[in-house]
Structure formats: structure tokens, C-alpha cells
Amino acid sequence: MTLLLADVRLVDGRCVDLVCDTGRVVAVHEAGTGPPADERIEGGGRLVLPAPAEPHAHLDKAFTADVVANPAGDLAGAIDAWRREHERLGVDEIAERAERAVRRLVAAGTTAIRTHVDVAPGIGTRAVEALVAVRERTRHLVDLQIVALVAAPTLGAAGADQRARAREALAAGADLLGGVPHLEDDVAAATAGALELAAEAGVGVDLHVDETLDPGVLGLADLARLARDFPQAVTASHCCSLGMQDAVTQARVAEACAAAGVGVVTLPQTNLYLQARGRRTAPPRGLTALAALREAGVTLAAGADNLQDPFCVVGRGDPAETAALLVMAGHLGVPDAWDAVTRGARRVMGTPAPADGALVSPGDPAELVVVDAPTLRAVVADAPAGRVVVHRGRRVTGE
């Protein structure tokens, strides 16, 4: 099936007709000269961009902020609140909220999502089962990856049940293995254990790494060392404590990540919300060492993380919001911030990525968003509504 996006404007200012076929952008013509196609979208001079991806969500928790309170507002409070709540959750309730979140993300232009899903005592693999059902129901809208987020403990005899649940979650349909090594008694051993379990299953890993401002915790260095011999993709999410290190340590760890092929996902919204609670003087922003990672050539992605739940009570599920937070809190330029939610996000996820984070060109995947905005800066600043979203070369939402 061919698709023609007629009279759309590229980020460099050219007005063009884009032709998509077999899931790719195959040609760029001067506006008004494109060929007939099976489907035609009238762009009306609106801006066309590579569609964003969400590399780190928690869809099983979405839209629970009003029913699961976290009075402390910090990470420990959120974990405790959610642990008490998730024991009562059923598959259908989780799936309803998660699908609502997926559809919100798609309406904002997102056509690929990686979600972490709790695997823990009390809930077992119910949340994974719910997200597998959502993945099937929304596969025409979005590519959905499921990470089995295996709660601590996972080591020794105390972790035997959790290791068994991890295997059950992968058998139930999870695509990758996740975990939280910095909450374990031995961070390096927990990291190694996660990689061993993932290698056994033949899947990649996406770990919550160093979600703390304690500079004495630096599990990312362990992960970079261990990942050198790991045959699958490795992603490190959060990595907050790297931002608390001196410049020499930041550069050393970033270079080790680059050499090992470890991708990093920064999550400005939730980390700004959770980190540095109670620090009244010069509270850190809680983001990872963006400059050092970029200078080392690490693949850097950015995500929204939580969507109105105890870990972050706000959020719109909009990649433009994530990019704007990177501009403000991370001091990235607008093009680099947008790249982190488009090309960087897709590279971390292992899905086809555009050659440029903002400029659509032939050969790019036909994952596109058409926005009524004059410039990329205006997209990030204004987050205009009414976006036309193209997934696998077909319109999935918008007019």
C-alpha cells in the first residue's frame, strides 16, 4: 500500500510531497508533483517530522495518581505505595488503563513504546499478561515492547522465587528483562545475575540503574564492564548518580558505556519530580550526565517514564513535553532534545530509526507525525494538538 503526504513542510523549510511504500519513505517530490497513491493525506503546509518513540514507560501504573497516594513524593514513598496497591490489581483493570495510555501516546505522535511492567510478589505476572493483551489489541497503532521489571530480591535463596517469576514473565510474552540492581544488597552481583538470566532466555536487558543521587552508588560502571561480553542489547535507564560524579569519572564511565554499546535513557520528568526531595539548598536536578554521555558517543534516548501515578503525578504522555524538559533542565538545544525522543529512542529500542531526528528523508521508516507548527522549536514549545500520525506507512490518527 502506498501513501502520499501531499504538501507537507520539512524542517529545513522545503514544501514537498512524501511517498511511502512498504513501511518506508521512498521518495521526496516537490509539493504538487507527487504520484497517485492508495491513500493521500493533505498536509496543507504543515510540518512533518519523524514520529517519536517512548523508550521508557510504566503503562501498568498509568492514571493511578488519584487512587495511590505518595505523600512523601520521593522514590521510596512511591515504591511503598505501589507495593501495597498492586496486590489487588486484576488483569482487566491494568489493561484498561494501559490501553488508554497507549492511545494517548499515539495521539501525541508516538508509534513505538517500551514499557516496564512489574513482576513481583503479590502481583506475579498479571501485569505482564495485561500488557500482552494490550499489545495485541493495539498492534495496528504502535509497536509495543514489554520489559519484565523484576523486583528485588533476585539474588541467592531469597531471590529464587523472583528468578522463577522472571522466567514466567518472559514465557508469557515479555520481550526484555528488567530489574533494579541498585536496590539489591550487592549491585554488581544483581547486575551480573540479570545479564545471566537474560542470556539464558536470549533476550536483551533494560535495567533501572542508579536511580539515586548518592555518588557512592555507580552500578552503571558495573553494567558497562559486564555488558562487553553480553550478546544482546543493553539499556541503562535513569543513571542519576552519574550526574553527581566529577567530570573525570563521568567521562570514564560514559566511554565505557560507548565501548560496550550500552544505551542510556534519561527521564527528566520523573527524576525532577522524585529526586532531591528535602534538599532546600541547591537541589540537584536528578538527571544523568548528558554532556559526558553525548561527548562519548553513547546512544542517548529520553522518555516520559511515569504517566500520572505515584512516581510522578503529572505528565501528558507527550514527547514534546519530554523534549521541552530536556531543553530546560538538561540544557540541550531543541534539535538535540527532539533527537533524543525520536532517533535516539528508536536506536535504544532496536527499531528502525530515521537518518536524522528531525529531517525526513528517503529510506527513513514511514513512522511520521504531521504537526501544525511553523518550526521544530514551536513543536517543542507549544505541543500543538491535532497531529496526524503515520505508523508503518498508514495513517493511524488525525486528519
Positions annotated as catalytic residues are 211
The DSSP element (H or E) to which 176 belongs, if any, is: strand 176-179
DSSP lists the bridge partners of residue 119 as 150
Q: Is 125 exposed, middle or buried (0-12, 13-18, 19+ CB in 10 A)?
A: buried
Q: Are 88 and 119 in contact (CB under 8 A)?
A: no
The CA angle 136-235-282, to the nearest 5 degrees, is 115
Cα gap 322→337, rounded to integer Å: 8
Cα gap 47→15, rounded to integer Å: 9
DSSP strands (E only) in 257-391 = 262-266, 300-302, 368-371, 388-391
Phi/psi for 241 (5° steps) reads -65, -20
Q: Order of strands across the sheet with 143-150?
A: 54-57, 112-119, 143-150, 176-179, 205-209, 234-238, 262-266, 300-302
Cα gap 147→336, rounded to integer Å: 26
